[in-house]
Homo-oligomer: A and B are copies of this chain.
Amino acid sequence: MSKFKITIDAMGGDYAPSEIIKGAVEGAKELDIEAIIVGLKEPVEVELAKLDTAGLPVSVVEATQQIADGEAPAIAVMRKPNSSVALATRLVKEGKADATLSAGSTGACMVSAFQYLGTLPGIERPVAGGAFFRLAPDTVILDLGANVGCQPYQTVEFAAIGSVYAKTFHGVDNPTIGLLNVGAEEGKGNDFSKEAYNLLKNSGLNFIGNVEGLDIPAGKANVVVTDGFVGNILTKFCEGIGQSMMGWFLKEMKDKLSPEDLQSTANKIYGILSPGMSMGGGPLLGVDGLFGITHGRSKAQQIVGTIKQMKHAWETGFINNLRAELAKIKKTLPDS
């Protein structure tokens, strides 16, 4: 097996390019991988010059276009095939790398992945998913907002994808699947949930029935599927609670804790409730190729972590496993 090669978008993220490049170089040092840094010539050279890369499998591919501040990133990516994120993605499509990674805007990543890698058979657009509540780190929820206004059959696709995700990244053997709903019993919910329930029941997946809002933090299912409308509202609500609770805690406990303990606990409360912030990066789902996304506030450590995840996905045949699982459930859906 040849060495895992990953292109890294040096220009995306709040700490780009310095922390991204630092992460790429550290990854090349620690992980037995080949890092291909994609970015604008000058800033990449300046940052690389600060680091010791002698003998490391680190190379640079120059991006000649730039997404300007204030430009809508999703549209910019379409128009600028030589922007760093688009170029990094194309290198995967062209077989020059096994995966790519970006800490840039989710919109830009989605569009770049969609345009250059395409989606897996049957999947209309990339799926946003992952564990978002830190106290239930092994519960994957999808979709988290990329697919708003789903059809019921899409929940079965989310379940298949989530199932492979849980196997690959959480080491769960036969992941349990729950449908997010307003009650535990069959027949609960709106028309969408009733139809989704029936499809999931016949999908051949390890469907355990409906799960409620309470069951997400409790980690009742390994995979929770829902329309992106609900998923988006939930994650943002969770983040808002994190902000409010942090503010409350700082006031409430200021006379009971040392300033250090006060601040660090408040930060932890925020971290637990703020999706993305607390979790490492992972693959964009539903895409026909390995595209790693990580939070905009990622530093070198998170870049290394995400490289590691993507390498693991590559080694375990993540995309092929997804393809196989999607083919299986496809047969259980009507009109196929």
A interface with B by C-beta (< 8 Å): 133, 135-136, 145, 148-149, 180-182, 189-191, 193, 212-218, 227-230, 232-241, 243-245, 247-248, 252-253, 256-257, 261, 265, 268-269, 272-273
Contacts and interface: CB of A to CB of B under 8 A. Distances in A.
A74 to B, nearest CB: 13
Contact of A190 (B193, B229, B235, B238): B229
Contact of A272 (B227, B248, B256): B248
A228 B182 contact: yes
A106 to B, nearest CB: 13
The interface residues of chain A, by DSSP majority, are classed as helix
A232 B211 CA distance: 12
A227 B135 CA distance: 28
Contact of A243 (B148, B189, B217, B243): B217
Nearest to A190: B149
Nearest to A232: B182
B191 A213 contact: no
Nearest to A247: B135
Nearest to A218: B240
Contact of A189 (B189, B229, B252): B229
Nearest to A262: B256
